[in-house]
Amino acid sequence: MRQLYAIQLAIATGVLIVIVTTVFALVQNPELLDLPATASVRAASDTPHPIEGYRPCDSCHGMKGESPYPLNHTGWSDESCTRCHIPSALPQQGEERQ
């Protein structure tokens, strides 16, 4: 009986590890699913400025920048920003290009 319990516990632990690992991987790298219209893409706001002349994004949106990004964006490359956030074509009034 004890051996059966140990086997069941090992299987349940293994399944739980696989589920947690999969969820963690999808949270950190949502493009793994590569779905064109995921909820995160639909919920992302447009970038209020063009991206040309404003690279790298971390200079303003890093943790020490003027307008920091959320913690769940930490470690993402500049190229990943435009996957969800659509850049504006023209600068806003009173805004100069850098």
pLDDT number for residue 97: 46
71: alpha, beta or left? (left if phi > 0; alpha if psi -120 to 50): alpha
- Is residue 94 left, alpha or beta, with left meaning phi > 0 and alpha meaning psi from -120 to 50? left
Give me the pLDDT at residue 14, please.
Answer: 97
Splitting the chain (98 residues) into consecutive groups of 10 residues, what average pLDDT does each group show? 93 97 86 59 70 77 79 78 74 49
CA dist., res. 67 & res. 21, Å (int): 31
pTM of the complete model? 0.40
